[in-house]
């Protein structure tokens, strides 16, 4: 059973950059597709980015020109780097994982979730 813990959230100004990290407990981490989702108050959970065991990536439309996801299988970690943050990026950001190679954008396809980390972007 994979456990994931996010870190790196906080309060930033618009235009700033942010790095979110996710540490996973699973020994076979390299077999998992890892993703980031976010949820703003009153809104549905939104796909942000995903990275499969082959390091193929997929990004949500609202962040794809401003984000990079990468993984370090030796450290069981996945990182999301976001540039040019906007107030509409304010949300709780969740790291998630599922066993396999599918780059799903659906939260329902991810079996393992962290508790989330708050990102607040001030204008």
- Tens of pLDDT, residue by residue over 45-74, are 999 999 999 999 999 999 999 999 999 999
**Residue 12 in contact with residue 120, Cβ under 8 Å?**
yes
Kindly tell me if the per-residue pLDDT of 26 is higher than 80: no
Beta-bridge partner residues of 112: 97
Query: For 69-96, how does the pLDDT look when each residue is reduced to its tens digit (9 = 90+)?
Result: 999 999 999 999 999 999 999 999 999 9
Q: Are strands 112-113 and 4-7 parallel, antiparallel or unpaired?
A: unpaired
The separation between the first and the last C-alpha atoms of the chain, rounded to the nearest angstrom, is 40
Q: What is the pLDDT of residue 1?
A: 83
Q: Is the pLDDT of residue 27 over 80?
A: no
Q: Tell me if residue 116 falls in helix, strand or coil.
A: coil
């Amino acid at each position: 059973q994979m456990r994931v813990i996010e870190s790196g959230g906080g309060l930033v100004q618009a235009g700033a950059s942010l790095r979110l990290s996710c540490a996973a407990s699973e020994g076979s981490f390299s077999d998992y597709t890892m993703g980031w989702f976010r949820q703003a108050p009153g809104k549905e959970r939104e796909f942000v980015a995903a990275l499969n065991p082959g390091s193929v990536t997929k990004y949500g439309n609202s962040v794809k020109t401003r984000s990079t996801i990468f993984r370090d299988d030796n450290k069981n970690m996945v990182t999301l780097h976001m540039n040019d943050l906007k107030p509409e990026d304010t949300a709780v950001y969740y790291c998630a994982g599922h066993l396999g190679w599918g780059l799903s954008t659906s939260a329902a396809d991810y079996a393992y979730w962290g508790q989330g980390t708050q990102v607040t972007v001030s204008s």
